[in-house]
């Protein structure tokens, strides 16, 4: 599985508590689990990637400390899935975030995360 890769030269914008980030993800054959459906691990990876883009300072390294995904409906391959993630709070070096993924207006997955931010040396 190739997974989801960041586009070349991608720099995550700085986020503030309460802000929402969204992205459209189309899962292909490399992310297939059951026939015609995205693998849950690929869905979790998409959430993880977007959560890490919520770096509150924009220049720091952000690491996932906790990630929880609740799968509600299958995500079909080759269809646009909208992922929305929000930075819910900042507590020192920890960031709390939540998100949801939907296809055709129906929520397919919900996720929460705790992120740890480390400034480069």
Q: Is 54 exposed, middle or buried (0-12, 13-18, 19+ CB in 10 A)?
A: buried
Does some domain include residue 38? yes
Residue-wise pLDDT tens digits, 31-73: 899 999 999 999 999 999 888 777 645 556 778 999 999 999 9
Does some domain include residue 4? no
Tokens representing 74 are 């299958």
Does some domain include residue 15? no
**CB neighbours of 118 closer than 8 A, spacing ≥ 6?**
60, 61, 62, 63, 93
Does some domain include residue 58? yes
Does some domain include residue 10? no
Assign residue 59 the CATH number of its domain: 3.10.129.10
Does some domain include residue 9? no
Does some domain include residue 105? yes
**What confidence score (pLDDT) does residue 53 get?**
76
Question: What is the residue range of 42's domain?
Answer: 21-118
pLDDT of residue 110 exceeding 50, the answer is yes
Does some domain include residue 99? yes
pLDDT of residue 104 exceeding 80, the answer is yes
The CA-atom distances, in angstroms, between 65 and each of 17, 30, 45, 94, 118 are 18, 26, 14, 9, 12
Percentage of the chain exceeding pLDDT 90? 50
Split into its structural domains, the chain has a count of 1
**CB neighbours of 8 closer than 8 A, spacing ≥ 6?**
none
């Amino acid at each position: 599985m190739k997974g989801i890769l960041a586009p070349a030269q991608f720099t995550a914008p700085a986020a503030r508590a309460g802000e929402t980030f969204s992205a459209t993800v189309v899962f292909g054959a490399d992310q297939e689990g059951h026939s015609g459906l995205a693998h849950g691990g690929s869905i979790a990876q998409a959430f993880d990637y977007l959560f890490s883009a919520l770096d509150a300072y924009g220049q720091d390294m952000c690491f996932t400390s906790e990630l929880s995904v609740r799968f509600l409906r299958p995500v079909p391959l080759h269809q646009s899935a909208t992922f929305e993630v929000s930075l819910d709070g900042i507590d020192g070096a920890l960031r709390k975030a939540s998100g949801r993924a939907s296809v055709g207006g129906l929520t397919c997955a919900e996720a929460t995360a705790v992120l740890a931010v480390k400034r480069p040396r």
